[in-house]
């Protein structure tokens, strides 16, 4: 992956704040851009737009163990199809104690990261089924690109 300061052609980045929040269907999330118009993003140097919509971020049925923390990367392609990529879950107590870091999942080619959702599961969390925030701590991140450093606590 290239640093934005390197002179390269193309570029895959999110150009505006996605405003990720829980959706009307609480097992899903949505974009709620503060600009009121939606999310602008670039894939390989071409600019695209995603209008805000309720329930537009749908998790696939991945299971996260109780007492773990995991990052879910929210990505979009040129056709406005949103994909959620599950990261590697870590034991929450080890993360809190600084024994392990929480790494960001990486998007595949053709996907632009627009945000991430961190789930701290107190019970088993089944993505796409379990309501976000019900008994679990959930943090939403708006991204320009995948951060270059992991979360350390």
Q: What band does 151 get if pLDDT is binned at 50, 70 and 90?
A: very high
Convert the pLDDT of each residue in 54-109 to its tens digit.
Answer: 999 998 878 999 999 999 999 999 999 999 999 999 999 999 999 999 999 999 99
Is residue 147 domain-resident? no
Number of neighbouring beta carbons within 10 Å of residue 40:
18
Is residue 5 domain-resident? no
Q: What band does 3 get if pLDDT is binned at 50, 70 and 90?
A: low
Is residue 152 domain-resident? no
Which residues span the domain enclosing 36?
A: 13-142
CA 84 from chain centre, in angstroms, equals 7
Is residue 7 domain-resident? no
What domain count does the chain have? 1
Give the pLDDT confidence score for residue 116 in this predicted structure: 97
For residue 50, give the nearest of 71, 22, 74, 66 by alpha carbon. 74
User: Mean pLDDT, the chain, as a whole number?
Assistant: 92
CA 88 from chain centre, in angstroms, equals 13
Can you give the pTM of this predicted structure? 0.92
Give the pLDDT confidence score for residue 115 in this predicted structure: 97
């Amino acid at each position: 992956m290239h640093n934005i300061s390197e002179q390269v052609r193309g570029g895959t980045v999110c150009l505006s704040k996605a405003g990720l929040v829980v959706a009307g269907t609480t097992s899903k999330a949505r974009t709620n851009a503060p600009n009121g118009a939606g999310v602008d993003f670039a894939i390989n140097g071409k600019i695209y737009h995603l209008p805000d919509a309720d329930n537009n971020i749908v998790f696939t049925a991945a299971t996260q163990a109780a007492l773990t923390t995991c990052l879910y990367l929210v990505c979009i392609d040129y056709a406005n199809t949103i994909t959620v990529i599950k990261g590697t879950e870590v034991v929450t107590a080890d993360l809190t104690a600084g024994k392990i870091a929480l790494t960001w999942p990486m998007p595949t080619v053709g996907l632009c990261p627009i945000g991430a959702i961190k789930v701290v599961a107190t019970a088993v969390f089944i993505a796409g089924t379990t309501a976000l925030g019900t008994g679990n701590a959930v943090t939403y991140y708006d991204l320009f690109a995948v951060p270059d450093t992991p979360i350390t606590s």
